Chains A and B, each alone.
Chain A
């Protein structure tokens, strides 16, 4: 059953649909996710929800995830609260400022129709 249902779906990595940049504000990381083509933007809106991103970053993000839409830029902005071990100077992480949360998000796979 499950296989049959999946036959008309395929898994796509966000890396193939979007690019991204991330940064910090205190203990919050932001990830801007930008569709590589405007026609990919609705897919991002549909599949890359705040809840989904929260699950993707499980074990990294301790607080809530917020999502904002920028249709004019074919972009979504995610705020990942409690993601930076206390923030820039407190953090013991190599990526203390969340600079590469961008590509971490691009590892996510979504299921889209063929």
Chain B
């Protein structure tokens, strides 16, 4: 059975191998400060005890006040699984260092998180949208996108009111203040292909 390492085990080992890393254990997850993420990830990948060879899952959750980027890491040799989380508090300009230099498998998943959540990954070789087209306004998986999946149902948490007008995708509500630039029209004459 794959052992799911507790946060204390992972954080304790990280504290040993990366002195000065800001890590905090909560339950099964180990919260890492964004600036220490790459160092911690590299150390966790190469450490003979933790040996997190594979990054299984990279995703993000929108907790209204902050984002959390989730990293599920698996060790094939030791057969255990660890969970790293990074918190980002700035909604307008969410930036997290990219772990593509540590695990190449992160590059497509980080593009997906950027596309759907709007979190930029610094150091990613080619950060573009994956599923939606360039010029799409907004990031759909955010809880305040167009007011749907509205936080109105989540009692006790701050919520965002539904927008009354402007439901169009290209001119609807979005987080960033200025509109995204549109790419050149692919069907205009003289287009490359």
A, B assembled together? no
Interface residues of A (CB under 8 A from B): none
Interface residues of B (CB under 8 A from A): none
